[in-house]
């Protein structure tokens, strides 16, 4: 079970159509595939989100990987702690927990995948055991216009998603028209959530939230700048709609501060923010102690992250009943099996060893070629 090799491959998996949110437009999932191979020939897979660039993330992952060779895949907590120390503290830059989390998430996933495969157990079993049999997801409707978002909402509601979620913060008139049209299409019984992704300050949020309440919105995620817990608390104190913290929480310290400030009714968090399983579980425990739910976050990711998220979500008692799911945006995936499409809004807890999936080597080669083609200038 000792780590013999760690390989890194930059990939680009295209989306079926452009992805619109308040910060821009995304064309596909750019990730770095992390492969951890043990002395017994077991291969664990993970992925790190490749922003600002795959090259930048790989440069840091190579430093982290150098600390891991020769050590056990069952030591991921210590390995990741040592990797962070050498990446950001030993050389005097001292602290970069958010970027480090993004870099190290893929290594954490790959180590846990290898550990689970070595033990012949799903990762959730190694984490203490699942407390549920399925993970429930919200229907994430997308589009450039209000009409396109509403069309997608109707499809998702008909597919069995109880909760419909869409991006706002794209202009007040467009946001309100989208909310009106989505509510009209999904009817009064479906739950509705919106996410401005930090685009509103407290004054702007107050104005928009009062209007959105007319459409039965049940949660507004991260309305304001992520670095001001005070602004988030101020918005929540005045809001008729519950408020979620997303980009305000990446670390256990931030989770504690947000909860202590009474700034959020829910915390949205994923493996790419926390740097892997250990810190995500710490944040879930902090939230559990305040009776706050955890909503599993999604980023520009492939099915590898969906499987890793499924494993950790299985063991979180205070998991929300509407979590993010991103594979529907992919034109094709690098996970060959199982099928990760939610059925009636849910994906079963995966029971295969490790993260519980089989990789599609042909599609990995295809995604590597797409990354090369896109970056050959």
Radius of gyration of the chain, Cα coordinates, nearest whole angstrom: 20
Lookup result for tokens 């002395």: 39
CB 124 within 8 A of CB 130: yes
- Rounded to whole angstroms, the Cα distance separating 181 from 173 reads 12
Min CB(222)–Mg ion separation in Å: 5
The contact mask relative to Mg ion for 179-218 (x = CB under 5 A, - = no) is ----------------x-----------------------
CB 64 within 8 A of CB 103: yes
Give 167 or 190: the residue with its C-beta nearer to Mg ion: 167
What φ, ψ does residue 357 adopt, rounded to 5°? -135, 160
Q: Is 246 in the site for Mg ion (CB under 5 A)?
A: yes
What φ, ψ does residue 274 adopt, rounded to 5°? -85, -15
Min CB(127)–Mg ion separation in Å: 25
* 3-state secondary structure at position 326: coil
Q: Which of the ranges 75-83, 85-93, 240-248, 362-370 carries the binding residues for Mg ion, by CB under 5 A?
A: 240-248
Give 76 or 323: the residue with its C-beta nearer to Mg ion: 323
Min CB(198)–Mg ion separation in Å: 9
Min CB(36)–Mg ion separation in Å: 29
Q: Which of the ranges 19-27, 84-92, 201-209, 246-254 carries the binding residues for Mg ion, by CB under 5 A?
A: 246-254
Give 175 or 195: the residue with its C-beta nearer to Mg ion: 195
- Is the previous residue joined to 338 through a cis bond, with omega within 30 degrees of 0? yes
Q: Is 63 exposed, middle or buried (0-12, 13-18, 19+ CB in 10 A)?
A: middle
Min CB(297)–Mg ion separation in Å: 7
Give 195 or 301: the residue with its C-beta nearer to Mg ion: 195
Min CB(20)–Mg ion separation in Å: 14
Q: Is 301 in the site for Mg ion (CB under 5 A)?
A: no
DSSP notation for 167-200? E--S-HHHHHHHHHHHHHHH-SSSEEEEE-TT--
Q: Is 221 in the site for Mg ion (CB under 5 A)?
A: yes
Give 97 or 270: the residue with its C-beta nearer to Mg ion: 270
Q: Which residues would be at the binding site for Mg ion (CB under 5 A)?
A: 195, 221, 246
């Amino acid at each position: 079970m000792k780590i013999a090799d760690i390989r890194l491959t930059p990939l680009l998996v295209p989306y079926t159509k452009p992805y619109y949110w308040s910060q821009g437009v995304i064309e596909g999932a750019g990730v770095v595939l992390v492969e951890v191979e043990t002395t017994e020939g077991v291969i664990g897979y993970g992925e790190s989100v490749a922003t600002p660039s795959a090259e930048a993330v790989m440069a840091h992952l190579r430093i982290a990987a150098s600390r891991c060779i020769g050590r056990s895949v069952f030591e991921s907590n210590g390995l990741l702690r040592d990797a962070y120390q050498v990446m950001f503290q030993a050389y005097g830059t001292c602290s970069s927990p958010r970027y480090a989390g993004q870099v190290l998430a893929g290594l954490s996933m790959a180590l846990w995948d290898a550990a689970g495969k070595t033990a012949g157990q799903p990762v959730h079993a190694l984490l203490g055991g699942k407390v549920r049999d399925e993970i429930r997801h919200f229907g994430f409707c997308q589009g450039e216009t209000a009409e396109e978002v509403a069309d997608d909402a109707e499809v998702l509601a008909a597919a069995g998603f109880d909760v419909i979620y869409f991006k706002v913060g794209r202009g007040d008139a467009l946001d309100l028209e989208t909310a009106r049209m989505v509510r009209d299409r999904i009817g009064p019984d479906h739950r509705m959530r919106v996410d401005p992704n930090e685009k509103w300050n407290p004054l702007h949020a107050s104005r928009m939230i009062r209007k959105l309440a007319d459409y039965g919105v049940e949660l507004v995620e991260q309305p304001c700048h992520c670095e001001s817990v005070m602004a988030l608390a101020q918005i929540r104190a005045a809001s008729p709609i519950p408020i979620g913290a997303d980009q305000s929480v990446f670390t256990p310290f931030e989770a504690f501060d947000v909860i202590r400030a009474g700034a959020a009714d829910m915390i949205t968090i994923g493996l790419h923010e926390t740097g892997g399983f250990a810190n995500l579980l710490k944040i879930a425990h902090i939230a559990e102690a305040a009776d706050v739910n955890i909503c599993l976050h999604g980023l520009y990711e492939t099915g590898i992250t969906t499987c890793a998220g499924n494993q950790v979500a299985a063991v979180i008692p205070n998991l929300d009943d509407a979590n993010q799911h991103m594979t529907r945006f992919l034109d094709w995936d690098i996970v060959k099996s199982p099928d990760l499409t939610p059925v009636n809004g849910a994906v079963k807890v995966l029971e295969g060893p490790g993260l519980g999936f089989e990789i599609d080597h042909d599609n990995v080669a295809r995604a590597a070629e797409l990354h090369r083609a896109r970056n050959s200038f």
